[in-house]
Structure formats: structure tokens, C-alpha cells
Structure 1
Amino acid sequence: MIYWQLFLTFLNIGLLSFGGGYAALPIIEDLVVHQEHWLTLEEFSHLITISQMTPGPIAINASTFIGTQIGGVGGAVAATIGCTLPSIIIVTFLAYLYHRYQKLSLMQDTLFILRPVVVALIASSGLSIFINAIWGNERIIWMDPNWLMLIIFSVAMFFLNKFKANPILIMLSAGLVNIIYHAL
């Protein structure tokens, strides 16, 4: 039963998430954390972090990790197939349409209009994860942030934007800083 439920949940995510993996994160969060209560927001944040560190699309990685967490290997297979099946069908159909009608101004206008919506979806998920990392449990207490996480975030943003640093090195460095901090 859980395999079928995972398949249907991630089929829904696959059908409703337009704009790539990052745009799917708010939908995944809503269904997995808030509706199904399979994971806490903190567990979801951890899985998203792992999904970003591993090769491949983040939404597929997240579905695989969440499926494993909920239903083992069978859950991973069910969630991953559910997440990818709509994309396979829709992308094949859209590739045909785009190839056939790519010069139409309506096609170009539609794609142009969808860009800000995708950015908003990505920003929404990023903000939710940021709040959880700095304040925890989606509640902002301005005077009581996790200062270590806030400093790591600020330094990482600085190096990523100013020097275009390698994200893998940034993640490894942040992990090393956290290990050293907790060892002291």
C-alpha cells in the first residue's frame, strides 16, 4: 500500500512541477511534510541537502531519498518512477510540439511569461529551507538565530557570488567548519 501511495504522490509531483527540480521543491515539501506527514521539515531539509550533493536532478534524487526513507528500496523505486513518468511523457510530447511550432510568437511569449513564476517557486522553497536552517521549525525569532548557520550561510553566499567558488568545495568547507565548531 505504501508503494502505491508513494507512486501516486510523486506522480502528482511529477505532473504539477514545471520549471525543473528546484521549482518542484515547494510541491514536494507541501505533499511530503505538510499533507502526508512522512517527514518533518528538518528531515526534508536534510534530504534536500543530500539530494543537492549527489549527481542528477534534485527532484528525482529527492524522490528517491524520500521513497527510501518511507518504504525502503521498493519505496525508492515507486517514488522515482512516479516522479519521472509524467516528465517522460510530457517532454516527449512538448519536444514534438516545440520542434513543429518553435517559430510561433505565442510559443515564445508563453515561455517568457513562465520564467518569473519558476523563479518565485524556487525562491519560496529556498526561503523555507533558509528559515529552517537559521531559526528552525519555520518560526522566526529575530533575536535568537543559529549564529553559526547564519555565518556559514553568509560566507558561502559571499564566496559563491564574489569568486564563483566551486559549490562542492563550499559544502565540504561548511561541513568541516561545523565539525571543528562542535569538536571545540
Structure 2
Amino acid sequence: MSRHVLMLFIVFLQIGLFSIGGGYAIIPLIQEQVVSAYNWLTIQEYTDIITISQMTPGPLVVNTASFVGMRLAGVPGAIAATMGSILSGTFFSIALYKFFKKYKNIDSVANVLKGLRASSVGLIASAASTIILIVVVGASSLDVRNFTLNIGAVILFSVSLFLLRKYKLNPILVMVLTGIAGLFMY
């Protein structure tokens, strides 16, 4: 097993351990590892992988792990990253299920769940704001020196949000339409 494949497995095993809150909540942690800590991908490559992962069937974390692993080490990397991302989460979920089933009537346990729920919302909001910033201004933070507003992305985002909220259009239809618009705009 190559060193890169083993590192992918270990990194995604760690990510799986802390994947409280689900797919969108874990996006910042994956970004921290694969973009910042190990420099395996650029922020743009990572954003592209997240976009593709959202459009393909299956859990976001598993799809992202598979794409990152495939990009870095081919099929063995995809298998290692995917297995790492699901193993720890599976064992952790089983243990937590048994714990919370046994102690569900204790107030402090219910309060822990409320705290975890609140932190999950914060993680999801962080992931959403990071993706929006990358698309709209081309960076993952609001650095005034590198600020270039992508008007086309702002218009597509606004129109998509309007169509989804006001007219309740099918999200797949909106994705297809914005993909076609992106083909002509970019």
C-alpha cells in the first residue's frame, strides 16, 4: 500500500470520527485537511469536487472522499478514502445509538443533543458561506485586496434562489438550467 493511499485512509478516518452534523457540516473539516493541512488540492479543485459530489447520488462525505481519493491516488485512493470516511462513522453511530437509547430520558443527555444540533447548524452555515464566497468572489474569505465580484455567479445564484423559493421549482431542473446558463456565460 502506497504512503499516499495510507494517508488518505487515515485522514478520512479522522474526518469520519468528527462528522457530526452530516455532509454539509463536514465540508469545512474536509477542506481544512485536503486544502490547508496537506495541500493535496487547491481551493478551486476542492470546490469543483464538492459541486460534483452534491450532484451525484449518495452521501456527500462518501462522494467527496471518493473523488478526492480518485484525484490523488486513483482507484486505490478512492477506496481508501471512502472506507476511512465510513468506518469510523459507522462504529461511532452504532455506539451513540446504543448510548442514547439507554439514557434518552436523562435531561443532561438531551441537552448534549441540543448542543450538537446547534453546532451542526453553525458548521452547515460555515460551509455554505465558504462555497458562496468561492463562487462569488473567488476566495474563501473576504480579503479586500483579492476581492473580485463575479456578477454572473451572483445573478445565477439570485435567480436560482428566487425560482426555488418563490415558484418551488424542482431543484434538478434549476441545476440543469443553471448548468446550461453557465455553459454560455463562462
TMscore range, shorter length:
over 0.9
Which residue matches 2:169? 165
Amino acid at match of 1:160: L
Which residue matches 2:46? 44
Which residue matches 1:53? 55
Assess if the C-alpha contact under 8 Å between 2:138 and 2:147 holds in 1.
Answer: no
Structure 1 ranges of 4+ moved more than 6 A = none
Q: Matched residues in 2 for 1:172 and 1:31: separation?
A: 31
Amino acid at match of 1:148: G
Assess if the C-alpha contact under 8 Å between 2:5 and 2:80 holds in 1.
Answer: yes
Q: Matched residues in 2 for 1:6 and 1:12: separation?
A: 10
Amino acid at match of 2:45: E
Which residue matches 1:177? 181
Q: Structure 1: which 5+ runs fail to align?
A: none
Count of aligned residue pairs for this structure pair: 182
Could you say what secondary structure the match of 2:20 adopts?
coil
Instruction: Give how far 1:60 is off.
Output: 0.9
Superposition TM-score, scaled by structure 2 size: 0.92
Within 5 Å, which residues of 2 pair with 1:33-182?
A: 33-138=35-140, 140=142, 144-182=148-186
Structure 1 residues 173 and 2 mapped into 2: Cα distance closer, same or farther (>3 Å)? same
Q: Matched residues in 1 for 2:117 and 2:168: separation?
A: 23
Q: Structure 2: which 5+ runs fail to align?
A: none
Amino acid at match of 2:169: A
Q: Matched residues in 1 for 2:178 and 2:43: separation?
A: 21
Amino acid at match of 1:63: A
Is 1:26 aligned with 2:16?
Answer: no
Instruction: Give how far 1:160 is off.
Output: 2.0
Instruction: Give how far 1:16 is off.
Output: 1.7
Q: CA RMSD in A?
A: 1.6
Instruction: Give how far 1:17 is off.
Output: 2.0
Structure 1 residues 111 and 164 mapped into 2: Cα distance closer, same or farther (>3 Å)? farther
Instruction: Give how far 1:162 is off.
Output: 2.2
Q: Matched residues in 2 for 1:86 and 1:138: separation?
A: 29
Is 1:10 aligned with 2:12?
Answer: yes
Instruction: Give how far 1:156 is off.
Output: 1.1
Could you say what secondary structure the match of 1:38 adopts?
coil
